[in-house]
């Protein structure tokens, strides 16, 4: 449940919300990447006794989640900009 529902919802949703607040599409994937990397590094540091800054443990989700966040950020920021101009 944690890895399949909660983490994607928090990371992608957080990135999209920040992109909507700033009205910049590129902010969404950046926030998503940073938040997901922070979660993964903390997870490995706590449960597997690795260094907190050991980036060799980052997974492919750090590429997939920002791409999904880019898509949603593009959609929602575009909707915000078109609704303001109408």
State the pLDDT confidence band at 79, using cuts at 50, 70 and 90.
Answer: very high
How confident is the model at residue 33, as a pLDDT?
Answer: 97
User: Is the CA virtual torsion 22, 70, 12, 54 positive or negative?
Assistant: negative
Write out pLDDT tens, residues 27-48.
999 999 999 999 988 888 888 8
**pLDDT at residue 86, rounded to an integer:** 65
HSE, side-chain direction, 13 A CA sphere, residue 28: 25
Give the Å distances, CA to CA, from 59 to 1, 25, 38, 64, 65. Answer: 18, 24, 12, 10, 11
pTM, entire model? 0.88
The more confidently predicted of residues 46 and 77 is 77
Give the percent of the chain with pLDDT over 90.
65
């Amino acid at each position: 449940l944690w890895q399949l529902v909660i983490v994607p919802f928090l990371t992608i949703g957080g990135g999209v919300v920040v992109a909507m607040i700033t009205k910049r599409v590129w902010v969404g994937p950046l926030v998503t990447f940073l938040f997901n990397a922070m979660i993964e590094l903390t997870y490995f540091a706590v449960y597997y006794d690795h260094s907190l800054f050991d980036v060799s443990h980052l997974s492919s989700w750090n590429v997939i989640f920002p791409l999904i966040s880019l898509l949603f950020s593009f959609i929602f920021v575009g909707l915000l900009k078109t609704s303001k101009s109408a």
